[in-house]
Amino acid sequence: MSSEPDDVTAPVLLITGASTGIGAATARLARQQGWRLVLAARSADKLEALAEELGGPEHALAVECDVTDWDAQQRMVQRALDAFEGLDAAFANAGFGGARGFLKDTPERWREMVLTNVYGAALTIRATIPALTSSQGHLVLTSSVAGRRVLPGSFYSVTKHAVTAMGEAARQDLHGTGIRVTLIEPGMVDTPFFENKPTDALEGEDIARAVLFALSQPAHVDVNEILVRPTAQQG
Ligand SMILES: NC(=O)c1ccc[n+]([C@@H]2O[C@H](COP(=O)([O-])OP(=O)(O)OC[C@H]3O[C@@H](n4cnc5c(N)ncnc54)[C@H](OP(=O)(O)O)[C@@H]3O)[C@@H](O)[C@H]2O)c1
């Protein structure tokens, strides 16, 4: 990747949950397609390594951010604006899963899951709306197949149903601003999301292509939802 500064007109994509998995794969593909990037997550070391791989801060800015922290999300957006003077798209992607069964995970883990998957995504929307209004930009949210169908005992599925609702609520709320809203609903993807490597799963790049497909449409086209399963996944 070139380390020459980009054209200042190159569009800017902010990704939460950019340190690994789907977020990191989307950052790599977006960079190849000419986007400048703001990479956000809690793991500063992984973000810095990825930003370096993508050409350094002229092209990819690493911003440590816990999405459950409103002040941190506001600082993240301010860092993006200070570095790149605008924001063309935001990908609210940070999230994690858990064990199925209402007697399995601890109440504290449920609390963290709601704060990250639901509250965190809502805060990213809230923090980026002013900049996306200025750019008539694009908001992308990672829900899941689990946000479309209920899985037995899955509290994660409950949080992802909330994200699915959030995407549609935001789309209607932002009507008239020019901001487009896309919900990405992956099936099983081989990422650190799983403790044990899944078989017959998608790769992060498969979801990255879906994100970039939505982002690359003309301004009058809003791809509202993309549901992507591995061919081998039944439910
Ligand atoms: N893998 C799948 O099969 C699958 C399927 C459907 C949907 N999804 C969704 O896809 C999204 C990305 O997951 P993934 O599969 O790519 O898993 P992953 O590799 O574990 O990525 C999760 C990302 O979220 C970040 N994150 C977690 N908690 C955070 C917090 N409080 N603040 C900021 N960042 C946080 C992690 O970074 P740090 O730990 O560095 O903060 C990491 O970058 C999630 O929303 C997940 O629910 C995954």
Please, what is the average pLDDT of the chain? 96
Mean pLDDT, residues 194-217: 97
193 lines ligand 1 (CB under 6 A): yes
pTM (2 d.p.): 0.97
CB 63 within 8 A of CB 76: yes
Calculate what percentage of the chain has a pLDDT beyond 90: 95
**Ligand 1 nearest atom to the CA of residue 194, by list position:** 1
141 lines ligand 1 (CB under 6 A): no
**Ligand 1 nearest atom to the CA of residue 145, by list position:** 6
Please state, in angstroms and rounded to a whole number, the distance separating the CA atoms of residues 219 and 179: 9
Question: What are the Cα distances from residue 102, in Å, to 109, 110, 188?
Answer: 12, 10, 22
Report the interhelical angle of 21-32 vs 44-53 (nearest 10°). 20
* Residue 216: Cβ within 10 Å count: 11
Q: What confidence score (pLDDT) does residue 6 get?
A: 58
Please tell me the distance between residue 135's alpha carbon and the centre of ligand 1 in angstroms: 27
**35, 155, 156, 193: which one is catalytic?**
156
230 lines ligand 1 (CB under 6 A): no
Active site residue 119: no
Please state, in angstroms and rounded to a whole number, the distance separating the CA atoms of residues 128 and 225: 20
Among 108, 193, 205, say which to mutate for ligand 1: greatest number of ligand atoms within 8 Å of CB. Answer: 193
pLDDT band at 233 (very low <50, low <70, confident <90, very high): very high
Asked if the model's pLDDT at residue 99 lies above 90, the reply is yes
Nearest CA to ligand 1 atom 40: 43
- Please write the tens of the pLDDT for every residue from 158-175: 999 999 999 999 999 999
189 lines ligand 1 (CB under 6 A): yes
- Backbone conformation region of residue 197, classed left if phi is above 0, alpha if psi is from -120 to 50, else beta: beta
Asked if the model's pLDDT at residue 114 lies above 90, the reply is yes
73 lines ligand 1 (CB under 6 A): no
Question: Token pair for residue 230?
Answer: 């591995």
pLDDT band at 1 (very low <50, low <70, confident <90, very high): very low
Please state, in angstroms and rounded to a whole number, the distance separating the CA atoms of residues 196 and 216: 34
**Ligand 1 nearest atom to the CA of residue 97, by list position:** 47
